[in-house]
Amino acid sequence: MKTLKELTRPNIWALKPYSSARDEYSGKEASVFLDANENPYNAPNNRYPDPLQGELKRKIAPVKKVFPAQIFLGNGSDEAIDLMFRAFCRPGVDNVVAVEPTYGMYLVCAEVNDVEYRNVKLDADFQFKADDMLAAADGNTKLMFLCSPNNPTGNNLDRKEILSLLERFEGLVIVDEAYSDFSDEPSFLTELERYPNLVVLQTFSKAWGCAAIRLGMAFASSDIIGILNKIKYPYNINRLTQEEAIRMMEQHYQVKQWVKSLLEERGRMIEEFKKLKCCCYVYPTDANFFLAKVSDAKKIYDYLVDNGIIVRNRTNVTLCHNCLRITIGTRPENDALLEALKQY
């Protein structure tokens, strides 16, 4: 791996972050706060929230088996993705490599930041080779994005190839695990100690049932996390979100229950889909959704919309011609979809 200094944009490396009132004084003992121009009335929303979310990180750390200093919290994982570009990629100079098809935000963030985006097409089994990613890279490649389980294909990417990339790529490898709660494979969090160039993304938006609170997590070396903390907005996670996430961490057994029933429903849905006349193929999945190749994605999508049921039409995505992406819902929701498709 190149040194972090070599990988970081020089202006970011040199940056002295904005120092907020809550950064300069963060102790708990004081009782009179006249430092941040807040209104003394309307507690508790009158006060700025903890800029580094200490209490929440101390709750997350033991569950994820990392140190609090290895956690960055963002306004969704999308914030962490954007900050990776802003921290490491010089606009108009550096580039990133990702597999195709994959989550659309990597490309959007690349374009917003004027960073070249190079993609490597997955094979017919939606798998990739580290060799192909490295062949697409050059001396200015700073980041590689791997989403596993991948969106929209649903499958885990080959672990051996990810590890090979971590061994051989000189820049940072971002493994987006938004759906890993639904997979039997171990998280890459266990590899953080071995690979200083690894960044793992997870989110409260999927298995944790908290898409509305906008909370994403990045896990990496404390040096990488320090750079993200330096450039984020000072109060990027609001108090309501921090409080709700702390509440969720205290009942994380509930998440296990949700995952268990969603996986049961997933098994049932896939079996039922295979029997449908309009379904040609169901791709293997490790996520809370599956990709199905159907006779005519556009017509079936429109038909479902007319019946008040929304799925994701992925027919225009590379390798996904005539594919619909189906999220697993509650049993009645899933039954409504199956009933409608039986009538189609």
Could you list the residues that contact ligand PLP (CB under 6 A)?
76-78, 103, 147, 151, 176, 178, 203, 205-206, 211, 216
Contact 202, 182 (CB under 8 A): no
Choose between 4 and 109: whose C-beta lies nearer to ligand PLP.
Answer: 109
* Residue closer to ligand PLP, measured from CB, 36 or 211: 211
Q: How far apart are CB 252 and ligand PLP at their closest, in Å? A: 17
Nearer to ligand PLP, 133 or 175 (CB): 175
State which residue, 76 or 226, has the beta carbon closest to ligand PLP.
76
Cβ closer to ligand PLP: 9 or 325?
Answer: 325
Strands of 279-282's sheet, edge to edge?
279-282, 289-294, 323-327, 312-313
DSSP states of 206-232? STTS-GGG--EEEE--HHHHHHHHHHS
Handedness of CA 84, 85, 86, 89 (dihedral sign): positive
CB of 221 to ligand PLP, least distance (A): 21
**CB distance 72 to 220 below 8 Å:** yes
Closest CB to ligand PLP belongs to which residue?
76
Q: How far is the CB of 308 from ligand PLP (least distance, A)?
A: 23
Task: Write the Ramachandran bin of 331: left for phi over 0, alpha for psi from -120 to 50, otherwise beta.
Answer: alpha
Amino acid at residue number 89 = C
Query: Least distance from C-beta 157 to ligand PLP, angstroms?
Result: 12
Tokens of 87: 């921290």
Question: Whole-number minimum distance, CB 207 to ligand PLP, in Å?
Answer: 11
Considering beta carbons, is residue 103 or 301 the nearer one to ligand PLP? Answer: 103
Residue 74 amino acid letter: G
- Nearest distance from C-beta of residue 137 to ligand PLP, angstroms: 21
Rounded to whole angstroms, how far apart are CA atoms 205 and 179?
A: 10
